[in-house]
Amino acid sequence: MKKTLNIAIGGKSFIIDEDAHERLRNYLDTFRSRLTDEQGSEVMNDIEARIAELLLSNLGSGQQSVSLALVNQITAQLGMPDGKPEFEENNETMEEQTMNNPVKKLYLDVEDRKLGGVCSGLAAYFDIDVTLIRVVFLAAFFCGGFGFWLYLIIWIVAPKALTPAQKCELRGWETNAENLAKFTDSSKR
């Protein structure tokens, strides 16, 4: 019989085996120690939310508690902010893990915007040059005003990419520590 604990991570409640809890706590402590002060809480909140999301998606209907194997799988998938493995013996395990297909969502890119972030958001989403998108919208604006209405609709409908996790989703990158750290540095400019 295993001892279990009830924990909250990323705003969600989970029942977790004691050994899995110890492993997850060590991972988060190690992760936190590798972050710079300017990255701190925002990245940790995103990581905890991502861990909670992965736990929910991986818990089967018959599985009642989070196991050590599941925690090892998730921590190997997320990695560390500096790209180095958490422990050297886990390096082989990290390479063997299959990565989830990252989700790609359309957001307004508020960091590279000229007006509303629509063109830079579309450019990041489709992975093309933002200048090309801006020229296409400008040409569509002068050819009957279609560009204005399309720009306005996207500006109203699409949410802003404010968090590092949303910026990763905009570009179709996996939400892992290394990619999240890329955006925390640029958000402090």
- For the stretch 90-124, pLDDT in tens is 444 433 333 455 678 888 888 878 888 888 888 88
Establish if 147 belongs to a structural domain: no
Within a domain: 23? yes
Identify whether the C-beta of residue 123 lies closer than 8 Å to the C-beta of residue 132: yes
Residue 35 forms part of a structural domain: yes
Name the residue range of residue 83's domain. Answer: 4-100
CA separation for the pair 61, 43 (Å, rounded): 30
Q: Is residue 75 part of a domain?
A: yes
pLDDT digits (tens, 9 = 90+) for 14-71: 888 888 888 888 888 887 777 666 666 777 788 888 888 888 877 765 567 788 888 8
> Tokens at residue 55, please?
């736990």
Helical H segments across 59-157, by residue range: 68-78, 91-96, 118-126, 130-142, 146-157
Domain tally, the chain: 1
Is the pTM above the cut of 0.75? no
6: pLDDT strictly greater than 80: yes
Only one residue has tokens 């409908």, namely 157
The answer to the question of residue 18 being in a domain is yes
